[in-house]
Amino acid sequence: MKGKWAAGIPPRNFTWVIKDRLAISERPGGFAPNHRKVRRQEEIIWLQVQGFTRVVSLLPSSHNLQAYEEKSLASVHFPLPLTGDVRGVLADIYRELHTGLAGGERILVHQEELGDRVTGVVAGYLLWSARLPSGPQAITVLEHMTGHAMGPGGRELVEVAGQLSPAAVRPGTGDDSSRHG
């Protein structure tokens, strides 16, 4: 039994978006009233065993960041506002993902739960980075991967992403001038 638990457990609703490079899930440890410290530790251990090098938190608060630091798992926090202009935050997230993936990182993106906000941000990244040619295609791909229809909030994030200028840097160039944290 010890060997099985030593490898940790995957976060709930864990889904690869770019195989072995970019994944999404709910917050390690679960969402607010159901959050458990022991489960969070087991899930962070699993992320480390799987070779994740960075966690991108979209939570409005700094929850979990100290736990990542204690386990020496790099993290960056981009609180995604529920209202108002999200363009600046999305641009920062996309530059972070772009630079990290170009540098060979294995990245997990999460918010409290795996819902429209996370799927919208990541579908938007696939559009912004020209990995997919259109917003509708990016939405369809994320819906298929997660098995859930994307609601208006997520679709709006994809639309905003389509209006952002893509990075001047392309994967593999090694430019890390936009890196945070």
Examine the pLDDT at 13 and tell me if it is beyond 50: yes
Report residue 119 as tokens: 């799927």
What rounded mean pLDDT belongs to the chain? 89
Q: Is residue 42 part of a domain?
A: yes
Tell me the mean pLDDT in the region 32-56.
Answer: 91
Q: Is residue 21 part of a domain?
A: yes
Q: How many domains does the chain have?
A: 1
What is the pLDDT, as a whole number, of residue 116? Answer: 97
Residue 90 is inside which H or E element, if any?
A: helix 87-102
The type of residue at 153 is: G
On the 0-12 / 13-18 / 19+ scale of CB atoms within 10 A, 181 is exposed
Residue 171 is inside which H or E element, if any?
A: none
Q: Is residue 120 part of a domain?
A: yes
What is the pLDDT, as a whole number, of residue 95? Answer: 97
Q: Is residue 180 part of a domain?
A: no
Q: Is residue 137 part of a domain?
A: yes
Q: What is the CATH number of the domain that holds 117?
A: 3.90.190.10
Q: Is residue 89 part of a domain?
A: yes
Per residue in 75-123, pLDDT (tens digit) is 999 999 988 999 999 999 999 999 999 999 999 999 999 999 999 999 9
Q: What's the N-to-C CA distance of the chain in angstroms?
A: 37
Tell me the mean pLDDT in the region 14-30.
Answer: 96
Examine the pLDDT at 69 and tell me if it is beyond 80: yes
- Give the Cα separation of 12 and 8 in Å (integer): 12
Q: Is residue 97 part of a domain?
A: yes
What is the pLDDT, as a whole number, of residue 123? Answer: 98
What is the pLDDT, as a whole number, of residue 174? Answer: 38
Q: Is residue 174 part of a domain?
A: no
Parent domain of 64: 10-163
Examine the pLDDT at 178 and tell me if it is beyond 70: no
Examine the pLDDT at 33 and tell me if it is beyond 70: no
